[in-house]
Amino acid sequence: MLSRTVSRLVVVSNRVTPISGSRAATAGGLAVGILAALRETGGIWFGWSGEQSEAAAPRAKVSRGGNITYITIDLSARAFESYYGGFANRTLWPLFHYRLDLSSFDREWYVSYRQVNQLFAEQLYPYLRDDDLVWLHDYHLIPMGEELRRLGVKCRIGFFLHIPFPSTEVYVALPWHDQLVQAMCAYDLLGFQTSNDLRNFHDYLYREGLGYALADGLIHAFGITLRAQEFPIGIDADDFAAMATSAEAVRASQRLSRSLIGRRLIIGVDRLDYTKGITERLRAYEALLQNYPRQRGQVTFVQISAPSREDVPEYLELRGQVEATSGRINGLFSEFDWTPLRYLNRGFTRRTLAGFFRLSRIGLVTPLRDGMNLVAKEYVAAQSDEDPGVLVLSRFAGAADDLDGAVIVNPYDIEAVAEAMHFGLTMPLDERQDRWRRLFAQVQQHDVAHWRRNFVKALAESGQPRS
Ligand code: ADQ
């Protein structure tokens, strides 16, 4: 009989992140979480290499590192443009983040998206065994499970959506909404970040007459019963906490601290993405300086935005907007001995970021919409018990469900975010400590190991390998 605990894990994500080399130091929480899961059981990590190829049908490349087999595939220039740059980044990403105004619908992109998913399935297929647990990640790969089933793959296949699942009214604007949901229902297990995403999914099935929720996390749709549950992703809290006191973090934060000459630090860190609410956040900082003039000269806001998807026009436009807003704020408020805002358009290592988080009095995490937001959890993990900072968190981040103790804001309400910043800047130490202890306990308890164990366990228990 098959022993469920020894099933090999096969992880599939759009991008496979190398375990060494220059990108490893800045690898985000997801890549770190996937690696940790694979190291535990050994297995395969399959996905796009990040490279483009001239070949019409690129072949998979296989390499090994420890007990992990990496299988990567290049994308043709055409697929890169239409599947990745087009359907994933300009259709699904904006739509699932409620930005219908930025969503483009193009049949060719959709066809290419389906083709790449089919190609990925065909390339992975020969490596699979019937008792594998296959875990697919995110919106790039929604139809891949269905393609694997078409090829006759019998093992259990689960899918986790890292971004929000939008409300029905928004989702049905997608011309292929029913096809994608049908593809989602080919999995044995569907994972969402929050109860809100799961509710939206149930609501869509019900309102479109395609299915309904049953008890115990099950749904029935398209004649199939499957499991659909929330699995809020976490971080490796203890590891991130340790990074915040590492030599690299201390060196970086001392250097930053010297430059602040006693001023309080407010920090924002994100990919430069329109979902993250960066322009609104800058305007809230402007309102803080406007409405609370005593804070002028007393605070410095450091906004770190790593460049992202620079070949997508909406991102270039955002960059221009953020630069113009930063320039305007500095033009309005700077003194010959004080610059209120430092805007850095680059990435930093995780250790350096951890050091900056620990130094700051306020962490501003104010996305307009976010599946979870790991920066919020990293900010909490980096704080010291003696002098913790205050997390100001958007109600539209999935993390807001999980983080009781943050100051919750509506990021569209600029004046209210400015008030929340002021509230944090003037918060007495004992309240900061009380809030932070509650927050850290949650971040530690619901960490990335908890997330992956819950998901893998649910996948192992959902249905049987098909015969
Ligand atoms: P992202 O949209 O990328 O992730 P987030 O969850 O915040 O957002 O993760 C970003 C990661 O990149 C964090 O680990 C952060 O530290 C790092 N990062 C951000 N800016 C950086 C910079 N300037 N330099 C270096 N590192 C930087 C998607 C979803 C989220 C969901 C995650 C995981 O959009 O909602 O939380 O997946 O499921």
Task: Confirm or reject: Cβ of 26 under 6 Å from ligand 1.
Answer: yes
Ligand 1 nearest atom to the CA of residue 378, by list position: 16
- pLDDT score of 20 more than 90: no
Task: Confirm or reject: Cβ of 353 under 6 Å from ligand 1.
Answer: yes
Task: Confirm or reject: Cβ of 304 under 6 Å from ligand 1.
Answer: yes
For 440-456, how does the pLDDT look when each residue is reduced to its tens digit (9 = 90+)?
999 999 999 999 999 99
Task: Confirm or reject: Cβ of 30 under 6 Å from ligand 1.
Answer: yes
The confidence score (pLDDT) of residue 28 equals: 62
Q: Which of 138, 370, 402, 447 is catalytic?
A: 370
Q: Tell me how far the alpha carbon of residue 271 lies from the centroid of ligand 1, in angstroms.
A: 7
User: In terms of residues, how long is the chain?
Assistant: 467
The confidence score (pLDDT) of residue 434 equals: 98
Cross-strand partners of 257: none
Q: Which residue puts its alpha carbon closest to atom 24 of ligand 1? A: 347
Coil, helix or strand at residue 281: helix
| Buried residues in 376-406 as b, exposed as e (16+ CB within 10 A) | bbbbbbbbeeeebbbbbbbebbbbbebbebb
- Taking the CA atoms of residue 449, residue 124, residue 79 and residue 150 in that order, the dihedral angle to the nearest 10 degrees is -110
Best of 96, 270, 366 for a ligand 1 pocket test (most atoms within 8 Å of beta carbon): 270
Cα–Cα distance, 395 to 268 (Å, whole number) = 16
- pLDDT score of 4 more than 50: no
Please state the rounded mean pLDDT for residues 10-36. Answer: 71
The confidence score (pLDDT) of residue 25 equals: 47
Ligand 1 nearest atom to the CA of residue 374, by list position: 6
- Confidence band (pLDDT; 50, 70, 90) for 34? confident
Helix 374-382 and helix 429-445, axial crossing angle in degrees, nearest 10 = 120
Q: Tell me how far the alpha carbon of residue 117 lies from the centroid of ligand 1, in angstroms.
A: 24
Q: Tell me how far the alpha carbon of residue 28 lies from the centroid of ligand 1, in angstroms.
A: 6
Query: What share of the chain has pLDDT > 90, as a percent?
Result: 85
Q: Tell me how far the alpha carbon of residue 59 lies from the centroid of ligand 1, in angstroms.
A: 30
For 276-335, how does the pLDDT look when each residue is reduced to its tens digit (9 = 90+)?
999 999 999 999 999 999 999 999 999 999 988 888 888 999 999 999 999 999 999 999
Q: Tell me how far the alpha carbon of residue 467 lies from the centroid of ligand 1, in angstroms.
A: 39
Please state the rounded mean pLDDT for residues 54-68. Answer: 85
Task: Confirm or reject: Cβ of 269 under 6 Å from ligand 1.
Answer: yes
Q: Tell me how far the alpha carbon of residue 94 lies from the centroid of ligand 1, in angstroms.
A: 16
Q: Which residue puts its alpha carbon closest to atom 19 of ligand 1? A: 270
Task: Confirm or reject: Cβ of 370 under 6 Å from ligand 1.
Answer: yes
Task: Confirm or reject: Cβ of 400 under 6 Å from ligand 1.
Answer: no
Q: Tell me how far the alpha carbon of residue 325 lies from the centroid of ligand 1, in angstroms.
A: 23
- pLDDT score of 467 more than 60: no
Q: Which of 97, 140, 162, 446 is catalytic?
A: 162
Residue 44 corresponds to which tokens in the numbers above? 């395969």
Q: Which residue puts its alpha carbon closest to atom 20 of ligand 1? A: 270
Q: Which residue reads 């995403």 in tokens?
A: 197
Cα–Cα distance, 190 to 98 (Å, whole number) = 21
- Confidence band (pLDDT; 50, 70, 90) for 53? confident
For 206-240, how does the pLDDT look when each residue is reduced to its tens digit (9 = 90+)?
999 999 999 999 999 999 999 999 999 999 999 99
- pLDDT score of 22 more than 50: no
Q: Which residues make Cβ contacts (< 8 Å) with residue 24, sequence separation at least 6?
A: 17, 18
Q: Tell me whether residue 220 is one of the annotated catalytic residues.
A: no
CA of 72: how far to CAs of 11, 17, 376, in Å? 12, 10, 31
